[in-house]
Amino acid sequence: MSIMFRARAGPSEEIERAAVSEGVDPELIRRLIACGRAVMPCNPIHSPEPCVIGEGLTVKINANVGTSRDQPDMGMELEKARIAVRYGADTIMDLSTGGDVDAIRRAILKEVQIPVGTVPIYQEGLRAARRSAVVDMKEDDMFSGIEKHAKDGVDFMTVHCGITRESVSRLHNSGRLTDVVSRGGAFLTAWILHNQQENPLYENFDYLLEMAQKYEFAISLGDGLRPGCVADATDRAQVQELIVLGELVKRCREAGVQSMVEGPGHVPLSQIEANVQLEKRLCDNAPFYVLGPLVTDIAPGYDHIVGAIGGALAAYHGADFLCYVTPAEHLSLPTVDDVKEGVMASKIAAHAADLARGRGVDRDDRMAKARKKLDWEAMFRESLDPQKAREFRKRGVTAENEGCSMCGDVCAIRMVQKYLEK
């Protein structure tokens, strides 16, 4: 019996554990999972720590890791996964495309105890490309790839089922500046156009649901036609795909399969709220998983900041799950340090949204009280990154042990306290 069906039947040990972690009533978690407004990715083969993503819960963040053809070092990707977990990632996605992809995925699943996601079509598309071309992928290969990942214990998988012949037709004369920027989306768009056939993942969606029931992985409905620049945001192709995804969410729920919906992408600030509302309306409040969103296209090297700006606003308006963006986005495979910076930027965005929605206030209050007392150890304890805070505190020299090298002997807090105490 699937997690969703178990939730409909009544309380369970896994839901109790998730509720403790989330700090809410288990009945709330049970109801949200039962109706599909929250997901708890958990393939029993991997059996990660419970992580619930969805409506009214704390905003979760995902960190992508994975090799490339040019940098196939498994050890480096395992270290990235460890760093991501250490700094607060709630899930990991392995997007490896270089080296022994199967071995890397299995090593990451063994290394981390948080949910792990993958995009199986990457591996199958590259396998076909090595033989001849991506467009020569066989339907059986697409599904056998999904099953292989499921058997390894992958907890959630991105599947680009909303790319259909109709949605691809929206690209013609669309005026898009960047066409298709999703790798999986590009694989299937090219496949459809070359073969003049329907997307097998859409046409045989019931078979995919059977696999998800059998192995209990959650389906993350990928946004293969997401905008790749702010000028392309919220266009016909993106919205057409979202309409299809909403229909597939309903089919997932009927089958007792957990599902969430992936979203853009590059979106100007003025359109973020509308994008969240569109997803929630068309997909019946399914958990919304956004990449960024990136609110400008001109900041390579700083896209973790760009994504955090968009992510905070998206989460405030109801997005449930933020995929981190690193400083290396659009430029290169990220380093370990890039991964840390990306996780921290997304953690800040998620917490800022939670705070604005009334969650996590106590921690900010504790920080404020520590600052008033000039209690540096307490400040470090409340910091999202205590190590970095300590390093900055040590910079410079001050004779004022209680203050910092910014203000020295004219510390605003000390000055006012001195006279308030009289």
36 phi-psi bin (left φ>0, alpha ψ -120 to 50, beta other): left
Helices (H) and strands (E) in the chain, counts: 19, 10
Cis peptide before 293 (omega within 30 of 0): yes
39-356 is classed in which CATH architecture? Alpha-Beta Barrel (3.20)
Pick from 118, 119, 136: nearest CA to 127: 136
Beta-sheet pairing, 91-94 with 116-118 = parallel
Residue 400 pLDDT grade (very low, low, confident, very high; cuts 50, 70, 90): low
Pick from 337, 350, 275, 280: nearest CA to 309: 350
CA–CA distance, 180 with 177 (Å, rounded to integer): 9
7 burial (CB, 10 Å; 0-12 / 13-18 / 19+) is buried
Beta bridge partners of 262: 289
Domain boundaries, the chain: 39-356, 361-420
Pick from 223, 238, 231, 309: nearest CA to 267: 231
Lowest mean pLDDT segment, chosen from 161-165, 187-191, 306-310, 371-375: 371-375
Residue 399 pLDDT grade (very low, low, confident, very high; cuts 50, 70, 90): low
Report which of residues 415 and 240 the model is more confident about: 240
What is the tens place of the pLDDT at every residue in 98-151? Answer: 999 999 999 999 999 999 999 999 999 999 999 999 999 999 999 999 999 999
Find all residues with CB under 8 Å of 223, minimum gap 6, and list them. Answer: 162, 182, 185, 238, 241, 242, 245, 261, 262, 263, 264, 265
Q: How far is CA 202 from CA 128, 139, 146, 207, 222, in A?
A: 20, 11, 14, 10, 12
What is the tens place of the pLDDT at every residue in 323-340? Answer: 999 999 999 999 999 999
